Chains A and B, each alone.
Chain A
Amino acid sequence: KQEVTQIPAALSVPEGENLVLNCSFTDSAIYNLQWFRQDPGKGLTSLLLIQSSQREQTSGRLNASLDKSSGRSTLYIAASQPGDSATYLCAASNDYKLSFGAGTTVTVRA
C-alpha cells in the first residue's frame, strides 16, 4: 500500500522567501506524481503533474522535482507572496489510484 508523507506539516515564511515543500512515498512504482493546492473551504487545484519518466516540471514560479529511486518529490515556490498561503498536497499515482499526503499548510507573511 502506497504511503505518502509530507514534512513539515506547517510552514510560515516572510514574503519574498523561497518555499521548499517535501513529499516522500514508499512505493517507487508510480506512474506520476501530482501537486495540488487547497484553499480553506475550497476544492483542490492541480498545480503540476510529473510523469514517472520526468525529473522535473515547471510552471511560472513553481518547480517540482521527482526522484523515484529515493521516493521523493520537492515543490519549490520562488519569491513567495501572501497569495501563496494555502495547503499544498502531493499525491502519488499507482495506476488510477492517487494516494495523498496530509499536506503542508503554508503561511506567507506580508
Chain B
Amino acid sequence: DAGVIQSPRHEVTEMGQEVTLRCKPISGHNSLFWYRQTMMRGLELLIYFNNNVPIDDSGMPEDRFSAKMPNASFSTLKIQPSEPRDSAVYFCASSWEGTVINNEQFFGPGTRLTVL
C-alpha cells in the first residue's frame, strides 16, 4: 500500500491567493482527518470526515477554510483567500473506523505551506 498521499509537498503563495491541498487516503479506510501543525500550537485537528461526510469541522479556523471529500479516495482542503498566518504544515490522515478503540490513524507526509 502506498500510504496516505498528499500533494503538493510544498506550496509557496502570496497573500490573497487561493490554495488547494489534496489528499488520497489509504484504500479501504473510511475516515479522513485534516490537521495543521505549527510551532506555536502543535498539531490541531481541522476537520474529520467519516464515509465521505464531514462530521466535525469545529477546528476549521475561519470561513476562509473549506474542505470536501467527493469520494472515498480523494479530499481537498482549500484556503481562500490565504494569509501569512496560514503558513504551517498541513497533514492528512486516514483510518478504518470499525471500532474507535482500535482506529489507528496513518498520516501522510504533509504539505508545507508558506504564504508571503
On A, residues with C-beta under 8 Å from B are: 31-32, 34, 36, 41-46, 49, 51-53, 89, 91, 93, 95-98, 100-103
B55 in contact with A49 (CB, 8 Å): no
Chain B 96-116 against A: per-residue CB contact (8 Å), 1 yes, 0 no? 010011111111111010000
The chain B residues found within 8 Å of chain A, CB to CB, are: 4, 31, 33, 42-43, 45, 48, 50, 55-56, 91, 93, 97, 100-110, 112
**B42 & A100 in contact (Cβ 8 Å cutoff):** yes
Q: How far is the CA of A41 from the CA of B89 in the complex (A)?
A: 9
Q: Please state if B43 and A100 are interface contacts (CB–CB under 8 Å).
A: yes
Closest 10 CB pairs of A and B: A44-B107, A100-B43, A43-B109, A43-B107, A49-B104, A31-B100, A31-B101, A43-B110, A51-B101, A102-B42
